[in-house]
């Protein structure tokens, strides 16, 4: 029971929102930590746990909570623009079905964002989604992060309206942007393929557990993609394959918590998201959860990423 209590306390203290673990657990407790945005979603948790948590474990949980509540993170608009811009270029397009009125249609489609973040598409005239948007231009596009594996990973839902691109100069611009993302898309020159641009009206974002909300179309368009997120996956893979011990040491040094394993899952100009594993004091079952490990300073270029990681590694080894 102490182990279960410890797991739940980890979630209480680390996350601005938490999950409902069992519908029969009561009484109900509303968890209210600082949220990044006033419209960020919240969840309820119920608790009837008996027993006491290990005092040393409670100190560790408080240390984690204090650190994570102020850890540097990208803003919502920048996170969204970065996810959409650096993703592999495929997403789920939802349309209002022409052939089955009243039902949504879903298609996996290729896309490329323009400089304002508006998705560009080139569709065959025979495709069902093409027929759908010609009748009703209201659509949504669900974009998952590059390495999406589950609920802890980021995803974006863009809502807006499709418009057909007809101007020859604009079409050439669309081709250039699209081919940069999809260099093998030879069909862009086919006569029965048409260009479309999605005008984003609203954005819903889930950045993983405890990070969700909406942003306006204006904030989305005015944000810029984070430059480090594009290369973050490669740097993370190198660290995970060859220097995982250094990541563990950095977590202990900068956050003050010992972990048994650490895997970097994303990286940006302000720091790293790391999935860690640790066994609570007084327990015998390891926990696995994501934490934020900020850089000691903001980085702008690839070479600076190496420099700051080397600096943090050396400081953690001292």
Read off the pLDDT of residues 134-182 as tens digits, 9 standing for 90 and up.
999 999 999 998 878 777 788 999 999 999 999 999 999 999 999 999 9
CA distances from 48 to 9, 32, 56 (A): 13, 18, 22
What average pLDDT does the structure give for the chain?
Answer: 85
pLDDT at 24: 30
Read off the pLDDT of residues 17-32 as tens digits, 9 standing for 90 and up.
333 233 333 333 333 3
pLDDT exceeds 70 at position 266: yes
pLDDT at 153: 80
Distance from C-alpha of 200 to C-alpha of 217, rounded to nearest angstrom: 6
pLDDT at 151: 77
pLDDT at 17: 36
> Residue 210: pLDDT band by 50, 70, 90 thresholds?
low
pTM for this prediction: 0.78
Question: Averaging pLDDT over each range in 10-19, 42-51, 99-108, which range is the top one?
Answer: 99-108
Question: For 172-176, 216-220, 287-291, which range has the lowest pLDDT when averaged over its residues?
Answer: 287-291
Look at 160 and 42; give whichever has higher pLDDT.
160
Look at 284 and 16; give whichever has higher pLDDT.
284
Average pLDDT over residues 82-98: 95
Read off the pLDDT of residues 268-278 as tens digits, 9 standing for 90 and up.
999 999 999 99
pLDDT exceeds 50 at position 5: no
Look at 49 and 87; give whichever has higher pLDDT.
87
């Amino acid at each position: 029971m102490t182990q279960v209590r410890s797991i739940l306390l980890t979630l209480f203290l680390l996350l601005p929102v938490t999950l409902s673990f069992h519908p029969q657990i009561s009484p109900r407790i509303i968890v209210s930590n600082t949220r990044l945005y006033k419209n960020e979603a919240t969840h309820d948790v119920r608790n009837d746990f008996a027993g006491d948590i290990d005092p040393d474990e409670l100190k560790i949980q408080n240390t984690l909570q204090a650190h994570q509540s102020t850890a540097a993170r990208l803003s919502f608009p920048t996170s969204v623009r970065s996810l959409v811009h650096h993703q592999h270029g495929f997403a789920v397009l939802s349309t209002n079905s022409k052939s089955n009125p009243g039902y949504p249609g879903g298609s996996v489609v290729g896309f490329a964002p323009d400089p304002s973040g508006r998705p560009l598409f080139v569709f065959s005239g025979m495709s069902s989604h093409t027929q759908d948007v010609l009748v009703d231009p209201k659509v949504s596009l669900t974009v998952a992060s590059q390495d999406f594996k589950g609920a802890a990973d980021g995803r974006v839902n863009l809502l807006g309206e499709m418009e057909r691109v007809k101007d020859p100069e604009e079409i050439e611009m669309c081709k250039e942007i699209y081919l940069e993302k999809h260099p093998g898309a030879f069909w862009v020159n086919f006569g029965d393929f048409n260009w479309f641009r999605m005008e984003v009206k609203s954005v819903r974002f889930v950045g993983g557990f405890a990070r969700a909300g909406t942003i306006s179309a204006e904030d989305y368009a005015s944000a810029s993609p984070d430059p480090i997120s594009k290369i973050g996956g490669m740097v993370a893979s190198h660290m995970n394959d060859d220097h995982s011990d250094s990541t563990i040491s950095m977590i202990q040094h900068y956050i003050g918590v010992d972990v048994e394993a650490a895997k970097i899952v994303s990286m940006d100009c302000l720091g790293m998201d790391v999935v860690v594993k640790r066994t609570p004091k007084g327990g015998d079952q390891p926990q696995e959860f994501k934490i934020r490990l900020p850089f000691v300073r903001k980085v702008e270029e690839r070479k600076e990423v190496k420099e700051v990681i080397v600096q943090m590694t050396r400081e953690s080894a001292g």
